[in-house]
Chain A
Amino acid sequence: MSNMNFDMPNFALALPEIFVLCMACVVLLADLFVGERNRVVTYLMSQATLVGAAILTVGLHTGETQMTFGGSFISDTMGDVLKVFIYLVTAVVFLYSREYLRVRQLFTGEYFVLGLFGVLGMMVMVSAHSFLTIYLGLELLSLSLYAMVALQRDSIGATEAAMKYFVLGSLASGMLLYGMSMFYGVTGSLDITEVGAYLAQSHDKNIVLAFGVVFVVVGLAFKLGAVPFHMWVPDVYHGAPTSVTLYIGTAPKIAAFAMVMRLLVEGLGDLHMQWQGMLIMLAIASMAVGNIIAIAQSNIKRMLAYSTIAHVGFLLLGILTGTENGYSSSMFYILVYALMGLGGFGMVILLSRAGFEADRLEDFKGLNQRSPWFAFIMLILMISMAGIPVSVGFWAKLAVLQALIRADMTWLAVVAVLFSVIGAYYYLRIVKLMYFDKPEDTSPIQPALDMRVAMSANGLAVFALGVYPSALTALCVAALK
């Protein structure tokens, strides 16, 4: 028994993950015992889980980079920051969803349990440092999302969306896995540290590596929803219940950013020249297709889906610079995007009521007369998405553009700003509908108090961070040091 070289992994580093896992199971069980009328208990327990996870993550934060589970799990500042934002965003998603789900008889334990498992998947993705862990986290998240989209069983649209999402998502996972297997074949390791080390010292230009990069990038582009792998995005966003769209459109984007960072930057950083060209094409295509097709939409969920695609294009711009400055800018961008996405979809939820989805553009007509305050909040969100100061969206664009120019890609910055002018048009159209048109529907807007407060805080946060973005930009820079 002397050859006990099996090291006990340091479980403490993964305590937040373990906590969320346990709590998700507890919530699942508890939900069986609370009746229909006390379902709010499930909701509160889910929120408590997120708060607890946040306390654990912040409490365990050391500022050092530590590995555990044989190098397949990493704990570092970037991971901790991203996780805290994932909890925050998910908590707001749950809050916005509560009333929406209740009036549609969807206020079930499944939504919250799947949501929590999704959070766990995202946490694993953020902290993964081996191809397998990344895949594990990704699949846990994806499976939760597929099920959540299908939650509204009797809706044909939702079922169709879930089906599309599942088929295309599996295809993407397959691509990603195939690419990873090629790297395993060449480097002999699944560990990102080792793959990175191998690539740093080997000089042979193995054709398999090139193929591997292609498949990995395709897989990532699918998950991010970058053109030309974006087809699922509008259909899923449109078909899913708005509360699920809200969830899909926000927190998983943060996790996807982490996945790109772990895979492309930490793992395949030395193949930067290979993936840079691909990301340039993906970015330009995403900005072009996203911004132009969004103009033709009459459904706001579809429009926001295309707007997401365009934002993903912008996000990729920061990453493809291959500089620390670019990575922190992209990180800033994705956090800001999550905040704006929350607000945008949250507003659709806020305007909806029993039997009325408020997801057509016309439903925003005359909002300024029906509720000047929420029209103002939506105005802030729209100018932020368009990248107009004073809103945090402007700073996000500024950060990415300056990183691009610093990396000597001014031409790409010019392309990006020109597409953002096209993008401004459809955001302005919402403003136009709210402020210039007369309302067709004059029923009062009476959201619950918590929704009212959270939505106002969300909009004001976009504004306040626009006035003073310093703290968040500094945090993103520090996270990537």
Chain B
Amino acid sequence: MFSDLPLLSLIIWLPIIGGLVVLAAGKNDVLVRWLALIFSILTFVASLPLYTGFDNGTYQMQFAEQMPWVATFNINYSLGIDGISMPLILLTSFTTVLVIIASWEVIQNKVSQYMAAFLIMEGLMIGVFAALDAVLFYVFWEFMLVPMFLIIGIWGGQRRVYAAIKFFLYTFLGSVLLLVAVLYLYFQSDSFSILDFHDLRIGMTAQVLLFFAFLIAFAVKVPMWPVHTWLPDAHVEAPTGGSVILAAIMLKLGAYGFVRFILPIVPDASHELDWLVIVMSLVAVVYIALVALVQEDMKKLIAYSSISHMGFVTLGFFLVFSIFDNTNSVAGAALGLEGALVQMISHGFVSGAMFLCVGVMYDRLHSRNISDYGGVANTMPVFATLMVLFAMANAGLPGTSGFVGEFMVILSAFKANFWIALLASTTLVLGAAYTLWMVKRVIFGPVGNQNVAALQDLNGREALVLGTLAVLVLLLGVYPAPLVEVMHASVGHLLEQAVSSKL
């Protein structure tokens, strides 16, 4: 029924056009909010058939579209999704709806530009996940920085300018190397199609150089230690909506780059240098978790926790090689990869929810400092319940979505190397420590001060947003099968590519 419709183009361009309409609507804030909401909901609804119409049985690209774009350089407008990108697109279209509802009356300044920036960014992010042409990918990837730059810079906090420019330059530095790498592959294959890159044979030296170019580009975006320093600044200064999008989706773009570019295009270099990524991931998991422990600012704490959790994702990707060496089969390796992908989705929900929770408190007290709170549960019981639930998910409690991915990755880590698994497992302790300690200081105990005593509990809008996320976190925690099923075929194919030599 939907096969004739260019569905991917629709969900890329609908929000972008929506953004322009919202901009044109201008000064009428009420109209702007409703228009933005309608466009985001329409996009979300339009993205649902991607799931219902998805064929789990194949790793081939589905819903594919192709048109010539720049004939001189053989660049095509080609789109398509597989089991890896499809859930991420749904995550994007879903999160945008929440962000727009969450910003409803919080943003009072330049509302139309704010809403338009989020809608345009939604289209661009979906574009990144759906692009099958490397230049198209790059265009979406890079242009996305502009709305995010404006969001942080216009609606951000005290040091917003510093954070916005740091965010931009850091990611720009990474992506220009991606551009050079892509152009080199174009020179080798005379095509910009990512799928053609997958089949290209490349020598080892070239693979290693490409590996580093890609690694810098994607590691900055993930972000991995030691190129993570832009993230805490960007998160702290960004408005709540910006933080949510940043944590829930933008970080996933970096991880998505790993599976779309690094593993299939330069498998031999990845195999050779997997220790590097594993070390970087473990440092993120352990050291960054310790850094999170000492934060005074809630947003900063969650930002560091995001880095730590994303370390799990990259760890899961690169465990593949040692598992394959140990067991000589790809079957065992699939668990780690799928765990990492589940972790991506779960982290999208959980970190988004955590930032929204901080946003709820910030809107009331205009402070993000842990010490300004205490005993919030006494005045905001509903909120406290939800926040504790998300904190548990962040700590990886069984029954929540946070547990599923981490557990799968740790399980597969044991197949790779005991010590890696041991270090990775510390996250269960450290994650619980920094999250629960924060919750204890903010939510529980006696009422901290006058301001906290005067707090109002969630209004209907906030409850709707956080409630929806809570349901999803639990659902994914108890029954992750629908998510894992769609990935199976694609993950299997990715593993084949990752372990077969291209030399």
Interface residues of A (CB under 8 A from B): 368, 372, 379, 383, 388-390, 394-395, 398-399, 401-402, 405-406, 410, 413-414, 417-418, 420-421, 424-425, 428-429, 431-432, 435-436, 468-470, 473-474, 477
Contacts and interface: CB of A to CB of B under 8 A. Distances in A.
B143 A389 contact: yes
A406 B187 contact: yes
Nearest to A436: B153
A481 to B, nearest CB: 12
B139 A428 contact: no
Nearest to A477: B72
Given A413-B180, A417-B177, A436-B161, A473 B146 contact: no
B117 to A, nearest CB: 11
Contacts of A474: 71-72
Contacts of A477: 72
B195 interface: no
Contacts of B161: 432, 436
Interface in B149-190: 149-150, 153-154, 160-161, 164-165, 168-169, 172-173, 176-177, 179-180, 183-184, 186-187
A413 B164 CA distance: 27
A428 B168 contact: yes
A473 B70 contact: yes
B184 A410 contact: yes
Contacts of B179: 398, 401, 417
Contact of A389 (B71, B139, B184): B139
B172 A389 contact: no
B90 interface: no
Contact of A402 (B73, B139, B173): B73
A428 B165 contact: yes
Contact of B70 (A421, A428, A436, A469): A469
B55 interface: no
Of A436, A468, A470, chain B has the most CB atoms within 10 Å of the CB of A436
A365 to B, nearest CB: 12
A421 B169 contact: yes
A401 B180 contact: yes
Contacts of A398: 73, 135, 179, 183
Contact of A421 (B110, B160, B176, B184): B176
A468 B160 CA distance: 34
A473 B149 CA distance: 30
B138 interface: yes
Interface size class of B (residues with CB under 8 A): 20 to 34
A432 to B, nearest CB: 6
7 contacts: A388-B142, A388-B172, A390-B139, A401-B179, A421-B172, A435-B154, A436-B154
B297 to A, nearest CB: 22
Interface of B: 69-73, 110, 113, 135, 138-139, 142-143, 145-146, 149-150, 153-154, 160-161, 164-165, 168-169, 172-173, 176-177, 179-180, 183-184, 186-187
Contacts of A470: 69-72
Contacts of B145: 388
Contacts of B160: 436
A462 to B, nearest CB: 14
A84 B138 CA distance: 32
Q: List the 5 shortest-distance A-B pairs measured between CB atoms, nearest first.
A: A417-B176, A389-B139, A473-B72, A436-B153, A421-B173
Of B154, B161, B176, chain A has the most CB atoms within 10 Å of the CB of B176
Given A389-B139, A398-B135, A432 B169 contact: no
Contacts of B169: 421, 424-425, 428
Given A389-B139, A389-B142, A477-B72, A402 B164 contact: no
Nearest to B168: A428
B73 A435 contact: no
Contacts of A389: 138-139, 142-143
A402 B190 CA distance: 11
A414 B180 contact: yes
A424 B161 CA distance: 15
B170 to A, nearest CB: 10
B164 A414 contact: no
Contacts of A431: 149-150, 153
B187 A432 contact: no
A436 B183 contact: no
A372 B25 CA distance: 13
A468 B69 CA distance: 7
Contacts of B187: 402, 405-406
B184 to A, nearest CB: 6
Nearest to B174: A421
Given A388-B172, A435-B153, 11 more contacts: A372-B113, A388-B143, A389-B143, A398-B135, A398-B179, A398-B183, A405-B184, A421-B176, A428-B165, A429-B165, A432-B153
Given A389-B143, A432-B165, A435-B154, A410 B70 contact: no
A429 B168 CA distance: 11
Contacts of A405: 180, 183-184, 186-187
A372 B22 CA distance: 14
A370 B326 CA distance: 65
Contacts of B184: 405, 410
B378 to A, nearest CB: 39
Nearest to B153: A436
B157 to A, nearest CB: 12
B150 A395 contact: no
A410 B181 CA distance: 9
A474 B74 CA distance: 11
A335 to B, nearest CB: 14
Contacts of B180: 401, 405, 410, 413-414, 417
Contacts of A428: 149, 165, 168-169
A83 to B, nearest CB: 22
A178 to B, nearest CB: 39
A395 B136 CA distance: 12
Nearest to A466: B139
A429 B164 CA distance: 11
A246 B455 CA distance: 58
A333 to B, nearest CB: 14
A436 B142 contact: no
Contacts of B146: 379, 383, 388
A474 B68 CA distance: 13
A469 B113 CA distance: 27
B372 to A, nearest CB: 27
Contacts of B69: 468, 470
B142 A424 contact: no
Nearest to A369: B110
A425 B165 CA distance: 8
A435 B113 CA distance: 11
